[in-house]
Chain A
Amino acid sequence: MDKAIYLAMSSGQNIMSAQAIHANNLANANTNGFQADFAQARAMGVYYGDGHQTRAYAMTENPGTDFNRGALIETGRDLDMAVVGDGWIAVQAPDGSEAYTRMGSLKMDPNGQLLTANDLPVLGDGGPISIPPADKITLGADGTITIRPAGQPPEVLSIVDRIKLVKPDYATLNKGVDGLIRRRDGEQQEPDASIRLQSGFVESSNVNPVDELTEIMTLARQFEINVKMMKVMEENSDAARQVLRSS
């Protein structure tokens, strides 16, 4: 039997992996700050021995993450912020390392520590930010947090800290298994003063649902073609068996 059936088989498996990536993007089409993952297929030639070089297996990989911006959604909440243009909000991952996110929906724990909506401490100039009891919290365009301390008149304002905003080179970033963006070398990035925040807004997921769905449909058809190839291989080998039996 022609071993080409294994080409079709591995291709089918890889198509399912690529579909899983696109399905994950679609499942997160409403997750604020989510960044879509790319999927691509690469030809992995296995050429040795005599004969025609026809054995090129397909391999699915995700070469990176789509760092395009999502849409800005107005919420009017004091503790919601969106990064305008390029840039990231620095947070502390559960393992203590520095990670970056664009999910700018913040909240406070009972000790006044500033957290993202998924409970990661937001980093300031000197580590996690704690906010004293306040009547009003304002996030400035450069990440400066200004508060009116509880019980103070409106003219008494104090600056608490500044949210660490960074702009690393995209080539140095990758997405970890927890969905957070980190530098590949694990180093910390210096803050960048040119990044601007817009408070009262969150950034939506940057998934383009039409793209993802079209991609899934295309992959489904490709899968069917591969199944058809398997069927053809089977018919070929069946035909060969018949020829050999009649002799």
Chain B
Amino acid sequence: MNQALWISKTGLSAQDTRLATISNNLANAATVGYKRDSVVFEDLLYQIRRQPGAQSSQNTQLPSGLQVGTGVRVIGTQKEFSDGSVQITEKPLDLAIVGRGFFEILMPDGSSAYSRNGQFQINADGEIVNARGLLLQPSITVPDDAQTVSISSDGIVEAQIAGQAAAQTLGNITVTNFINPTGLQSIGSNLFIETAASGSPQQGEPGIDGLGRLEQGALENSNVDVVEELVSMITTQRTYEMNSKVISTADQMLQYISQNL
């Protein structure tokens, strides 16, 4: 059979994966704290059909051989942790990290997950939780008679209590960083978990040791560049079409030979 069929099939499935990634990026273009994925392709191994430099007779050598590549594969997706733009919301519990780092979120099973999404709320017990109701770590409880909550750029949370002149300190929000954020595993819901590739979490005070500062009343938009995604979609579609054209050409050749001989 014509090997081009199988080679172009790898091209089709690679472009398919790329389109899925692009559509996921576009679907999350308005998701707070989303980081876009990009697909990395690699050419597959080459097969040597005829060795370059082999003897074609006792005194002569083949000047060039025949090496046939076997297609393309997706070796992975890369999360891109560049900063998204900051959007001002003026809501007291909306937080954006300006710079590197993640919020630590307590999962129901007691493990930790990390997020750049700073849309926090208060639950029935006064604790600060994310939109899914999962606790922000270290946990901070806002008293029910608090008038306003203010969060400084280095993470100190203070509340103004009715009838008290001085603000009451409620706790500190920390920011966690990883040496290789690209190695974090996405688990959905804007959350990431630690892997062997990401390195271990390093907590710190916001704004210190290279960690990002906190910005109250602001949110970080996704870092999806819509124009870039649409351009990628065009190249993906055209490459897909050309690879399918190769398959139909190879098919017609086989059809021709089976009908004419």
| Interface residues in chain A, defined as those with a beta carbon under 8 Å from any beta carbon in chain B | 12, 16-17, 19-32, 34, 37, 60-64, 76-77, 105, 107-110, 112, 117-119, 133, 135, 150-152, 174-179, 209, 212-213, 216-217, 220, 223-224, 227-228, 230-231, 234
Compute how far the CA of A178 lies from the CA of B67 in the bound complex, rounded to whole angstroms. Answer: 11
Known A27-B11, A34-B43, A110-B179; contact A174-B256, beta-carbon cutoff 8 A: no
Distance in angstroms between the alpha carbons of A119 and B75 in the assembled complex: 9
Residues on B with beta carbons closer than 8 Å to the beta carbon of A23: 3-4, 7-8, 11, 71, 243, 246, 250
Q: Are A179 and B45 in contact (CB under 8 A)?
A: yes
B91 proximal to A (CB < 8 A): no
Residues of B within 8 A of A223 (CB): 253, 256-257
Complex-state Cα separation, A119 to B78, whole angstroms:
12
Q: Which residues on B sit within 8 Å (CB–CB) of A118?
A: 40, 42, 75
If over half of A's interface residues share one DSSP class (helix, strand or loop), that class is named, otherwise mixed; here it is mixed
Return the chain A residue nearest B223 by Cβ. Answer: A76
A sample of 9 inter-chain contacts (CB < 8 A) reads A20-B2, A21-B69, A24-B68, A27-B7, A175-B67, A179-B69, A213-B246, A216-B246, A224-B256
Given contacts A24-B43, A27-B7, 19 further A-B contacts (CB under 8 A): A12-B257, A21-B68, A21-B69, A23-B3, A24-B70, A26-B239, A26-B242, A27-B69, A30-B18, A30-B41, A30-B72, A31-B41, A34-B41, A62-B68, A108-B182, A151-B209, A175-B67, A216-B245, A227-B260
Number of interface residues of B (CB under 8 A): 66
Give the most central of A16, A37, A135: most B CB within 10 Å: A16
CA distance A150 to B63 in the complex (A): 54
B-chain residues with CB within 8 Å of residue A28 when the two chains form the complex: 11, 41, 43, 69, 71-72
CA distance A23 to B6 in the complex (A): 9
Known A150-B210, A213-B246; contact A37-B67, beta-carbon cutoff 8 A: yes
Question: Nearest B residue to A27 by beta-carbon distance?
Answer: B11
Q: Tally the A-B contacts, defined by beta carbons under 8 Å.
A: 186
Contact segment of B113-121, B126-134, B191-199 = B191-199
B40–A16 CB distance below 8 A = no
Residues of B contacting A179 in the complex (Cβ-Cβ under 8 angstroms): 42-46, 69
Task: Provide the bound-state CA to CA distance between A133 and B80, in Å.
Answer: 18
Known A-B contacts A107-B78, A213-B242, A231-B261; A27 and B8 likewise in contact (beta carbons under 8 Å): yes
